[in-house]
Amino acid sequence: MTRVLVVDDEPQIRRALRTSLEAHGYEVATVGTGEEGVVGAAEQAPDLVLLDLGLPDIDGTEVIRRVRAFSEVPVIVLSVREAQSDKVAALDAGADDYVTKPFGMEELLARARAAMRRKQPDASTEPLLRFDGLEVDLPKRLVTLDGDQVKLTPTEYGLLEALVTNPGKLLTHQWLLRKVWGQGYGTETTYLRTYVRTLRKKLGDDAQAPALIVTEPGVGYRWVAETTA
Amino acid sequence: MSSAMDRGVSEVEPRRFRGLSARGAFIAVVAPAAAGVASIPLARNGPAAAIALFLLAIVIAAVAGGLWAGLLAAVLSSIALPFLYGAPRFRLRFDGTEEILTGLVFLTVALVVGILVGGAAEERARAGRREREARLLGHLSSRFVSGDVPDRVLDDFVRVLLEPFGLVSAEVLVEVDGTQMNARAEQPGLTPGGPDTVVPLVVGPVSFGTLRVERPAGRRPLGPHEQLLLEAASKQAAAALDRARLDARARLAQLDAETNQLRAAMFSSVTHDFRTPLASIKAGVTSLLDRSVEHEPDQERELLTTILEETDRLNRLVGNILDLARIRAGALIPTRHEAGLDEIAEVVVARLAPRLDDVAVVLDIDEIVPSVAVDEMQLDQVMTNLLENAARHSPVGGEVHLSIAAAKDRVEVRVCDSGPGVPDEERERIFEAFYRGESIPDSPGTGLGLAIANAIVTAHGGRIWVEETPGGGATFAFEIPVHVLQPPEREASA
């Protein structure tokens, strides 16, 4: 059974999450402080952590940092709309994704599933990734759309590779820039924006109803397509 | 006469006839002498030419040296003429009526010319003085109506007085509505300790304080005309202070009224807008919890959908109220990052489109949109508010266009609807908090969206406005200045 650790200081939220998650077949443990959260992540070895950023004792970002010292467990951050920079800090500290309070359970469960899928072995080691008509052959660095080869520049391919090998994870601007362009980069979001735009166009993705790449303004991008057999 | 101090308005009472200066005396001697020498070659033709030359010399002396120089030249000429042309030449002789008559004519000419020249000089001085006075008062009045801060106006006031009045220092000390203000100006390089004058700053029955001016040591006190002028200037200063005081009071009163009005509007809006969704949610939930009734699956679903929608509505309302509170507290400070308005627009449309099912949203984005330094969440809020507003005022089945266009130094976003439009007289007020269009009193908005959009755009150094959509409807547009422009490097396709 999939175990979920909920770290939130609001009893109402804990209760609502426990009820809904148990109804979906998860095994749920809840704690109210950051310290308990770190301990819980170590002792219970959960498959997923849902972490509120506004905890009474230690900062949520600090909790992620401590958990990341011993575990690669998927962490989804729960945060209010206003705390935009906290979200980016949490993602840079190692969180996988975030949902904004108040959130719908449907959305939370979708993010949770995506984050846990990524953690399954061989999810990203598969050499040929197929998303409906789109195929990415990682060893050959070849991309085809409905059988036709898509001509990508090396940077465009690097960007696509970074996205498809981290499905469901919200990749921050800084992370993507360093990964694709190199360590010296981190603030040149205009580059990134332009390349994402071109990539979307070449892959036939619609920014207004994205099936492949979802934009989180001011934060980053997320690959949302699921692999198909 | 040489000091700069004595020029300007301080020359207010020029003596009508200057005394005989050294220069005047010199001219008075040289001119008749020159006339005498010049007349010698013409002497055998009689004295007529000599008389004409002497007259010329007298006129020159009177014009150049003043009345006394003219008279001196006339006396010298009367003596010289008979000496040159009298019967025994080169001998003084005063027995003939002819000579006496010539002398009298010379004196009369000198007198007439001297008086005329003196009068003209006085007229000139008076005109110059009037011009300087007009300039001073004009300058003061333009400063005073400029609506500048009283402090700065007073500083300028005392500084302007220094030169025209030949002052070593000028100082005002006033009290306006309990606030004491003073300003002082000094002319460097002059010795203080001369005569001083104190002038009150009064408007009608209200006295604001005093102006004290000081002349340099050893100078004469201000004359009566200068005093009058100083009083006129002080009256202007007092009137300006009075105006500033009344303006401040009016502004305060207006602010007070606005705050009260806002508070009342907020109260009624908050009570109504919060309670309505809360009422629906509570009704729905209690109904679902009620075990005594058996709900059909359809009914249950409808109740739950209502609860969900009302929760979203409450959430938006809380966000708006929070934003408004931030605006009011001056805490709406954007956390800026390089971002693309095109991306934000796409995300907003992707999020809103399913909810706005009565209208179609058409997105039109320029090929290249430069990055702008913005708070993405806040700009998301602006576009969300404008789109929701446009959708609310669109006819069912209408289209809302959201376009993003790059200009040289800014990015412009336009949201066009085909609704009833905004009447001219409401185009300013529509951006005020809790203002709902009078032409559509039952509009379902919170009356906050546009006010928040306005505050956010302004905080980004941008501008927001409303105009008519060609063919009918309202177009809300805003622009954000571009700060950094980094074109990404080009590379070839593999």
Distance from chain centroid for Cα B384:
38
Domain holding B281, by residue range, is: 267-328
Is A19 part of the contact surface with chain B (CB cutoff 8 Å)? no
- Tell me how far apart the alpha carbons of residues A98 and B421 are, in angstroms, rounded to a whole number: 40
Structure tokens at B114: 């001297």
- Quote the pTM value: 0.55
Examine residue B259 and state whether it is found in any structural domain, yes or no.
no
Say if residue B324 is in the same domain as residue B354.
no
pLDDT in tens, A15-63: 889 998 999 899 999 999 999 999 999 999 999 999 998 888 998 899 9
Give the domain CATH number at B165. 3.30.450.40
Which 3-state string (H, E, C) describes B132-166?
HHHHHHHHHHHHHHCCCCHHHHHHHHHHHHHHHHC
Class of A3-119 in CATH = alpha beta
Phi, psi dihedral angles at A112 (to 5 degrees): -65, -45
Helix (H, G, I), strand (E, B) or coil at B181: strand
Residue keyed to tokens 């359809």? B298
Inspect the interface and report whether the beta carbons of B350 and A207 lie closer than 8 Å.
yes
User: Which residue on chain A is closest to B346 by alpha carbon?
Assistant: A208
Please tell me which residue of chain B has the smallest CA distance to A197: B343
pLDDT of residue B157: 81
Tokens of B37: 């020498």
Residues of B numbered 313-352 whose beta carbons fall under 8 angstroms of chain A's beta carbons: which are they? Answer: 315, 319, 322, 335, 337-340, 342-344, 346-347, 349-350
Indicate if B434 and B470 belong to the same structural domain: yes
| pLDDT at site B102 | 78
Q: What is the pLDDT of residue A199?
A: 94
CB atoms within 10 A of CB B94: 11
Q: Give the contacts of B80 (CB within 8 A, at least 6 positions apart).
A: B32, B33, B35, B36, B54
What local confidence, expressed as pLDDT, does residue A202 receive? Answer: 93
Q: Classify residue B408 by its DSSP letter.
A: S
Note the pLDDT of residue B4. 40
> 């301990």: which residue's tokens?
A39
* Residue B486: predicted pLDDT: 43
For residue A193, give the nearest of B343, B350, B375 by CB distance: B343
pLDDT on residue B401: 93
> One fold for both A3-119 and A128-223?
no
Torsion sign over Cα B450, B453, B457, B458: positive
Q: Are residues B343 and B470 in the same domain?
A: yes
Verify that B26 and B155 share a domain, yes or no.
no
- Are B486 and A190 spatial neighbours (Cβ–Cβ below 8 Å)? yes
Quick check: is B254 in a domain?
no
Residues B351 and B321 placed together within one structural domain of the fold? no
Nearest residue on chain A to B488, judged by CA atoms? A191
Residue B476 forms beta bridges with which residues?
B415, B466
B473 and B350 both lie in a single domain? yes
Closest Cα in chain B to A102 = B315
Q: Each residue of A54-107: pLDDT tens digit? A: 888 998 899 999 999 999 999 999 987 666 778 888 998 999 999 988 888 888
- Distance CA(B429)–CA(B426), nearest Å, equals 5
**Residues in B touching A188 (Cβ below 8 Å):** 338, 486, 488
Beta-carbon contacts of B130 under 8 Å, excluding residues fewer than 6 positions away, are: none
Q: Do A81 and B377 touch (CB under 8 A)?
A: yes
- Contact, B194 vs B168, CB < 8 A? yes
- Partners of residue B338 on adjacent β-strands: B373
Residues B85, B166 within the same domain: no
Question: Which numeric CATH code is attached to A128-223?
Answer: 1.10.10.10
Query: Residue ranges of the domains in chain A?
Result: 3-119, 128-223
Distance between CA atoms of residues A2 and A116, nearest Å:
10
Taking contacts as CB-CB distances below 8 angstroms, the residues of chain A near B371 are 189-190, 193
* pLDDT of A200 higher than 70: yes
How are beta strands A75-80 and A97-101 bridged, if at all?
Answer: parallel
Higher pLDDT, A173 or B103: A173
B102-126 in b/e burial notation, b at 16+ Cβ within 10 A? bbebbbebbbebbeebbeebeeeee
Determine contact, residues B165/B222, Cβ cutoff 8 Å: yes
A215 contact B CB<8A:
yes
> Is the same domain home to B324 and B349?
no
Judgement on whether residues B362 and B466 belong to the same structural domain of the protein: yes
How much is the pLDDT for B80?
Answer: 80
Same domain, B77 and B113: yes
Q: Do B380 and A217 touch (CB under 8 A)?
A: yes
User: What integer best gives the mean pLDDT of chain A?
Assistant: 88
Q: Which of B283, B298, B328 is the last residue of a domain?
A: B328
* pLDDT band for position A203 (cuts 50, 70, 90): very high
| Among A153, A197, A217, beta carbon nearest to B491 | A153
Question: Under a CB-based contact definition with an 8 Å cutoff, are residues A41 and A71 in contact?
Answer: yes
CATH code for the domain of B309? 1.10.287.130
Cβ distance A208 to B346 less than 8 Å, yes or no, reads yes
What value does the CA radius of gyration of chain A take, rounded to a whole number of Å? 18
Task: List the structure tokens of B363.
Answer: 């997105």
pLDDT of B57: 85
For strands B179-186 and B169-176, give the pairing: antiparallel
Does residue B110 or residue A157 have the better pLDDT?
A: A157
Q: Do B305 and B358 fall within a single domain?
A: no
- As a whole number of angstroms, the distance between CA A162 and CA A229 comes to 21
* Interface contact B494, partner A, CB < 8 A: yes
Structural domain ending residue among the three candidates B278, B307, B328 = B328
Total structural domains within chain B: 4
Cβ–Cβ contact B92 with A under 8 A: no
Give the pLDDT of chain B (494 residues) as one tens digit per residue: 344 444 444 443 444 555 677 888 888 888 888 888 888 777 677 777 788 888 888 888 888 877 888 888 888 888 887 777 655 554 455 566 777 787 788 888 878 887 887 777 778 777 877 777 777 777 776 666 655 566 777 888 888 888 878 888 899 888 877 778 888 888 888 888 888 888 888 887 778 888 888 888 888 888 888 888 888 888 888 887 787 777 777 777 776 766 666 666 666 666 777 787 888 888 888 888 888 878 888 888 988 988 888 888 888 888 878 877 777 777 777 888 788 898 899 989 988 887 787 899 999 988 778 888 888 888 998 999 999 889 988 888 889 999 999 888 899 999 999 888 888 888 877 887 666 555 444 445 666 788 888 888 988 889 999 998 888 889 999 999 986 444 444 454 44
Same domain, B202 and B74: no
Whole-number Å distance between alpha carbons of B33 and B27: 10
User: In this complex, do A102 and B347 lie within 8 Å of one another by their Cβ atoms?
Assistant: no
